[in-house]
Structure 1
């Protein structure tokens, strides 16, 4: 399968002396502006190292960038409606629940709180829709996935355009910065949290960030806290693990989640999206307690279920999307879908299995997971489907047509790597951030707030920066 190429924003390779000098400057800029992460191999809370980044901004068609930006409010509302359609979620997830324990546990909490009566009808969504350009389709964006929980890198990537502008100026190309779009993801995402806090309406209330036992991506999380502290100094933010929430919180007679004697207005999850983050029943009990409370959840359990791959696949089926989005908007949304197929035990599921076994390189096998590193590619798709062909396990996956983005040459700067780095072939994935706040019947806020660009080596299947597989980047918009 051939891939097209886009030209780098500057001719490569750069002169070696110039390259070494600008990388040294760029690394210092990154460290001094918080484009960093903690070292996974030599972890200490006392230092950070640079987050992997692409030295020069990567080209991206202006029309497709604009399309993604304009679509985000439509997609926000789509996922909001899906999350509040009980029948659709029940029908869509029923096969996966039988074989995916993690999704089943989330679903059980959803059922319990619905049966008890939902204490907080308002939900906060800090979403991110991810895209690759599909070369055989004329370099048009195709949706990779829609993230409804712990949508990361809004904070750090808000600094990336300024970093790229600095680098271009140092290389004598300040005239090019007009093609670098502004990125206000951090302030936009934080405004979602503070708007939800105001809706809660209790002046003594606090905001609770749910975090991992060890936070490597600390800059991206803390910048949210710093931004809120600067713009709304009266709002107190706590960081707690699910286990600490189990030990330190309680529900009072008003169903308020109480921590240190104060009600919690907003619970923002930066953890809780994968099975390893629930090592015991205590974490599940904590999640249930939060969901039973009057705190505004980001995301609510129904938002998290709406973000599963199974829902993404179901919406691509004929007529399904139109249940939620009508008219011209449904055409625009359907245009970004790539081929998505269920692997259920029915005629269409059998056809999908046969199709993937016959031409495995065309497809990606995706489980109901977030956080990167979970998908199956290439020949391994065939092996996995042959192994699961007669097992109910296959219903926990969806099959997705592989997207072939154009290649671009560039330099990836990584902590501890030799300088200068080689020129390598890269592909980029665009993420658009959105904020939505509302109930089943009323939407209070719905907006697009920023973007991120995550770039990986062309021969790497996964691209998660936090997982160590990709690099942070900024789009350089092209008129094509």
Structure 2
């Protein structure tokens, strides 16, 4: 499988002395402007280190960037409709629920809350649709996944273009800055939270961020709080783990979630998307309590279920998009961004997909119902896993996706504690477009695109999560191909 190549925005390699100098300046800029993370190996709350970043902005076709931006409100509305279609969610997740305990627990909460009557019909979605460029199709974007919970790096992605512009000026290339798009991800996402707060409409209500026991990605989370506090100083924000929510919150007779004597208007999940974040029954009870309350959830439990890989695969099946979107031009535009997605259920289609992957495992990625990076299987691991699961119902918890081959570009990845200068290496980039939506089943109050992020990794690395330590933050440099 061969990959095309895009040229860097300036000729490489850079002269050694210049490279060392500009990296030192960039690292100081990053630290002094909060482009940072806590050190996983030597954790302390008293310091941060630079978040991994790519020195130069990575080329990305302008037409495809524009396409992704324009599609985001369409995708927001699509996922909103999917989340409110009880029959579709139930039918789509039916087989996965039998073998995926985590998704089954989420589903059980959804059913329980739905059957007793939803106390809050409004949902807030801070979504992110992720894309890779696909070369065989002539440099067109293909969707990797759609994130409905804890869509990260909106804050750092909003600061990164300023750093990249500074780097370009230090390299004597200020004329290139015009090809870097503005990025208002932080303000766009935070305005979604405050709009939901205003729709809640209860005086002295507060906002609750659900966080991990240890937050390594602290800058990305805190900048959301700082932005809201700056724009809306009257709003108090609390940070609590699911365990603390169990211990410190109650439901009153109006089904308001009460924390520290205040009703909670919006619950914004930055945790709660993987099994390890529910170590005991307490955390599941806390999640149920939140879902039963009048607080506006980001995401609501049905939004989170709509973001599962199984739903992504089901939407790519013939006729399914038309069910939600009709047969217009927008449906065709959405279908064009899908790559091959295949069910592994125990039926004729599932058996055909298994045979196809075993015959050429390098063509596919095996994806479980998990968020947060580091969970997918590639190449020989796909074959090994399918041979192990072929006759086990476990395979229904996965989907098979055709592997996307993005173009290569040479660049420098700057990492904390790594040698300076780093080697010049081949990289590939993944574009994420943020979206905000607020609505009930019958009415959408807000639906917009809200900034972007670019995440870049070494070309030979399978996974690319920055928070997982595998990727690096980047900015797009728009090309007119």
Using the size of structure 2 for normalisation, the TM-score is: 1.00
1:193: which partner in 2? 193
Q: Within 5 A, what are the aligned runs for 1:319-330?
A: 319-326=319-326, 327-330=328-331
Partners in 2 of 1:341 and 1:169 — Cα distance? 47
SS of alignment partner, residue 129 of structure 2: strand
SS of residue matched to 2:325: coil
Shift of 1:298: 0.0
SS for the counterpart of 2:238 is strand
Q: How does 1:132-151 map to 2 (within 5 A)?
A: 132-151=132-151
Measured after TM superposition, the shift of residue 203 of structure 1 is 1.7
Please tell me whether residue 176 in structure 1 is matched to residue 176 in structure 2: yes
Instruction: Give the aligned partner of residue 335 of structure 1.
Output: 336
Q: Does 1:422 align with 2:423?
A: yes
Shift of 1:101: 0.1
Matches within 5 A, 1:46-195: 46-195=46-195
Q: What is the rounded CA distance, in whole Å, between the counterparts of 2:324 and 2:224 in structure 1?
A: 32
Partner of 1:411: 412
CA distance in 1, matches of 2:6, 2:325: 34
Q: Distance in 2 between matches of 1:406 and 1:423?
A: 16
2:4 equivalent in structure 1: 4
Q: Which residue of 1 aligns with 2:449?
A: 448
CA–CA distance in 1 between the matches of 2:113 and 2:398?
27
State the alpha-carbon separation in 2 of the partners of residues 300 and 114 from structure 1: 12
Distance between the aligned counterparts of 1:66 and 1:325, measured in 2?
A: 21
Deviation at 1:27, TM superposition (A): 0.1
SS at match of 1:137: coil
Per the alignment, residue 385 of structure 1 pairs with 386
- Structure 2 residue ranges without an equivalent (≥5): none
Secondary structure of the corresponding residue to residue 60 of structure 1: strand
Note the C-alpha offset of 1:325.
Answer: 1.3
Alignment of 1:278-427 (within 5 A): 278-326=278-326, 327-427=328-428
Q: Using the TM superposition, name which of 318-327 and 100-109 deviates more.
A: 318-327
Cα distance in 2, alignment partners of residues 48 and 283 from structure 1: 29
Q: Name the CA distance, whole Å, in 2 between partners of 1:447 and 1:33.
A: 27
Cα distance in 2 for residues equivalent to 1:280 and 1:20: 49
Number of equivalent positions = 480
SS at match of 2:104: helix
How far 1:292 moved relative to its partner? 0.1
Verify: 1:248 aligned to 2:248, yes or no: yes
Structure 2 residue 206 is the aligned partner of structure 1 residue 223: no
Cα root mean square deviation, aligned: 0.3
- The 2-side partners of 1:325 and 1:152 are apart by 28
> C-alpha separation between the residues in 1 aligned to 2:325 and 2:364?
27
Post-superposition shift, 1:168?
0.2
Give 1:128 deviation, angstroms: 0.1
| CA positional deviation for 1:30 | 0.3
Which residues in structure 2 correspond to 1:459-470 (within 5 Å)? 459-470=460-471
Q: Matched residues in 2 for 1:419 and 1:168: separation?
A: 18
* Residues 126-159 of structure 1, C-alpha deviations (whole Å, 9 max, x = no match): 0000000001111100000000000000000100
Distance 2:414 2:384 in 1: 35
Distance 2:238 2:345 in 1: 43
TM-score norm. by structure 1 comes to 1.00
CA distance in 2, matches of 1:194, 1:181: 25
Secondary structure at the counterpart of residue 8 of structure 1: coil
Which whole-Å deviations, capped at 9, do the CAs of 1:3-36 have from their partners, x for residues lacking one? 0000000110000000000000000000000000
What 5-or-longer segments of structure 1 have no aligned partner?
none
CA shift, 1:479, in A, is 0.1
2:136 match: secondary structure: helix
> Whole-Å Cα distance in 2 between the matches of residues 248 and 184 of structure 1?
35
Cα deviation 1:391-411 (Å, max 9, x = unaligned):
000000000000000000000
User: Which stretches of structure 1, 4 residues or longer, exceed 4 Å deviation after superposition?
Assistant: none
Q: CA deviation at 1:45?
A: 0.1
